Structure 1
Amino acid sequence: MGLLGLLGDFELDEKATINNVRRFFEHDWPIIQTRAHISFVDVKSPVISGMPSSGMTRNANDDKYSIHAQASKWVDDVIQACQGMREPHRTFLELRYFKALTWLDIEEATDYSSKRGQEIINEAFLGFAEAFADTYDYREYKV
């Protein structure tokens, strides 16, 4: 039995998987970058106050480090998943979600139409879902 045989009779629901990955890149990805203190668009350093806060019963520094460490791990995992992609999928994800270019800017930079660019992004989302499944599984299957 091949690797794909482990999935049994389940068929990937491409539309739902694409929507899950799109939601990740459009909503969660900017939050993860902020928590990891990383911006692929803006290289300014974040302002961090060294002043302790009062009234906390938990260790705020430990909580901040934990959030930062988890976000940094996710950033590394996202980059690793994207590095394995073929062109032009990798370039389109980079331009759209790492460099935050508009579709018009991407169209000018790549000579692809916006419609074709969106098709390439959807294909990239499916590849990303497969590559990222060890970290978080955005794939959905039809029963």
Structure 2
Amino acid sequence: MSLLPELDEDKTIKNVKRFFEKEFPTLQNMAHTVFVDIKSPVISGMPVSHSADNGAETKVTLHAYAKDILGKVIKACGGLDQKHRHILELRYFKCLTWYEIEDLTGYGKTRGREILNESFLQFAWAFVDTEDLRIFK
């Protein structure tokens, strides 16, 4: 007997994909952060910011909100294993095409998508404290 209801993997994958395709670019725009411009590894090498300023004033701005959420996205991505983090980083942080990803990783489009879907599932569990993207059956 399981304590948790069964995860609907297909719906969870769709939910996380929507987050990365729709909300993530909007958050980057609001935070004035573009990960494509960062030459070094994005997720693994990027420090997570810890704000020490006056929270009440900062939190009212969308800019601060977006920076906060992006920091939590980075932190959640840090919980993924290296292979899955790398594919997610190439596809959504560096906005590479599947052809470019294949050149860099050796994974064909089909295998790359499989790994990306696994990444979405790992991310859903890692991001749960910020936003629960999981869908249960």
TM-score, normalised with respect to structure 1: 0.78
Q: CA deviation at 1:64?
A: 9.8
What's 1:85 paired with? Answer: 80
State how 1:64-103 maps to structure 2 within 5 Å. 66-103=61-98
In structure 2, C-alpha distance between the alignment counterparts of 1:39 and 1:63, rounded to whole Å: 21
What's 2:103 paired with? Answer: 108
What's 2:131 paired with? Answer: 136
Contact preservation (8 Å) 2:59, 2:65: no
Contact preservation (8 Å) 2:58, 2:64: no
What is the identity, as a one-letter code, of the residue corresponding to 1:28? Answer: E
2:6 to 5, 8, 11: 11
Question: Which structure has the highest helix share of the two?
Answer: 2
In structure 2, C-alpha distance between the alignment counterparts of 1:112 and 1:81, rounded to whole Å: 24
State how 1:115-126 maps to structure 2 within 5 Å. 115-126=110-121
Q: CA deviation at 1:42?
A: 3.3
What is the identity, as a one-letter code, of the residue corresponding to 1:90? Answer: R
State the number of aligned residues: 119
Q: String of CA shifts for 1:67-102, please: whole Å, max 9, x gaps.
A: 011100110000000011112100000000000000
Larger Rg: 1
Q: Which runs of 5+ in 1 are unaligned?
A: 44-61
In structure 2, C-alpha distance between the alignment counterparts of 1:39 and 1:65, rounded to whole Å: 22
Taking only aligned residues, the RMSD between alpha carbons, in angstroms, comes to 1.9
What's 1:23 paired with? Answer: 18
